[in-house]
């Protein structure tokens, strides 16, 4: 490992542990427990992305475990709609190096748009998400954080990011995920299944179709019922509108399966 000295938003410079052959370029983003950097890969002759723990979270065992688990998952996976991992360093601190994706996150795209996505674009978005999410499910993983900011779109091709919440089906703690996009079973701490990711895809499609978040209640509320009005007021095929609302059903048993979702999106497209 080599260390690059960098400065984060006016803080005292800190050492950024990088695998040999990488140089830090610029700080890109900060999350609850991570810093994301653009780095240069000398071996590949191209930029890459490095995810590291924030300096104030270095002693956080849970944060460390999540970053390491994400890296190990990604290194064992390969799908055309999933971001690729290059390598994972774990000593002295974990650093996950990923490919740099060109394009724009769906979150940025819908934030700057004044017109909602077309039905054809929405159906293709959903089809590609079904493909990569189904791939994860067949390998025993749920994504559990499907949201526009974790979807990169370039020339009609979707790439899914961030497996930091990925885990096997089973009970999860309350609030495990992103508030605006999690199904009731994640919000309340119930059993998460493949139906939880179906809800996530539905939430992404709802956002693209309406430019609105599925629900905007105060954080801490247990009420995550989706307002169907904005979607039903759009001039969209009835089958598509009802499919998205079906994905957002409160009861996981009332949601379509991932296969049913993909089949209907194929017909709509």
Instruction: Give residue-wise pLDDT tens across range 148-195.
Output: 999 999 988 999 999 999 999 999 999 888 888 999 999 889 999 999
The pLDDT-based confidence of 1 (bands split at 50, 70, 90) is: very low
Instruction: Give residue-wise pLDDT tens across range 227-262.
Output: 888 888 888 889 999 999 999 999 999 999 999 999
DSSP labels, the chain: -EEEEE--TTSPPEEEEE-TTEEEEEEEEE-SSEEEEEEEETTTTEEEEEEEE-GGGTT-HHHHHHHHHHHHHHHT---TTBPPEEEEE-SSS-EEEEEPPPSEEHHHHHHH-SSPPPHHHHHHHHHHHHHHHHHHHHTT-B-----GGGEEEETTEEEE---TT-B-SEE--TT-S-GGG--HHHHHT-EE-HHHHHHHHHHHHHHHHHSS-S--PPTT-S------HHHHTS---HHHHHHHHHHT-SSGGGSPPHHHHHHHHHHH-
Instruction: Give residue-wise pLDDT tens across range 201-230.
Output: 999 999 999 988 887 544 455 566 788 888
Instruction: Give residue-wise pLDDT tens across range 86-113.
Output: 999 987 889 999 999 988 999 998 888 7
What's the pLDDT score for residue 6? 47
What's the pLDDT score for residue 268? 83
What's the pLDDT score for residue 231? 86
Tell whether the model's pLDDT for residue 10 goes beyond 80. no
Tell whether the model's pLDDT for residue 4 goes beyond 50. no
């Amino acid at each position: 490992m080599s260390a690059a000295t960098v400065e984060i938003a006016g803080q005292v410079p800190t050492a950024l542990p990088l695998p040999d052959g990488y140089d830090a370029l610029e700080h890109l983003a900060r999350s609850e427990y991570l810093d994301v950097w653009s780095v240069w890969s000398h071996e590949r002759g191209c930029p890459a992305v490095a995810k590291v723990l924030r300096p104030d979270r270095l002693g956080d065992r849970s944060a460390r475990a999540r970053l390491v688990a994400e890296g190990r998952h990604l290194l064992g996976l390969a799908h055309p709609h999933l971001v690729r991992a290059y390598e994972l360093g774990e000593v002295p601190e974990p650093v996950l190096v990923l490919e740099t994706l060109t394009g724009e996150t769906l979150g940025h795209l819908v934030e700057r748009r004044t017109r909602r996505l077309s039905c054809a674009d929405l159906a293709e978005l959903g089809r590609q998400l079904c493909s990569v999410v189904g791939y994860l499910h067949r390998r025993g993983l749920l994504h559990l954080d499907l949201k526009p900011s974790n979807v990169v779109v370039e020339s009609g091709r979707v790439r899914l990011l961030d497996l930091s919440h990925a885990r096997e089906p089973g009970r999860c703690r309350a609030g495990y995920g992103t508030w605006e996009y999690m199904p009731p079973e994640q919000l309340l701490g119930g059993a998460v299944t493949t139906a939880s990711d179906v809800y996530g895809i539905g939430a992404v499609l709802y956002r693209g179709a309406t430019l609105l978040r599925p629900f905007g209640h105060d954080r801490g509320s247990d009420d995550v019922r989706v307002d169907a009005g904005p979607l039903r007021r759009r001039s969209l095929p009835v089958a598509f509108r009802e499919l998205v609302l079906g994905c957002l059903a409160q009861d996981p048993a009332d949601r379509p399966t991932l296969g049913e979702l993909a089949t209907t999106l194929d017909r709509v497209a």
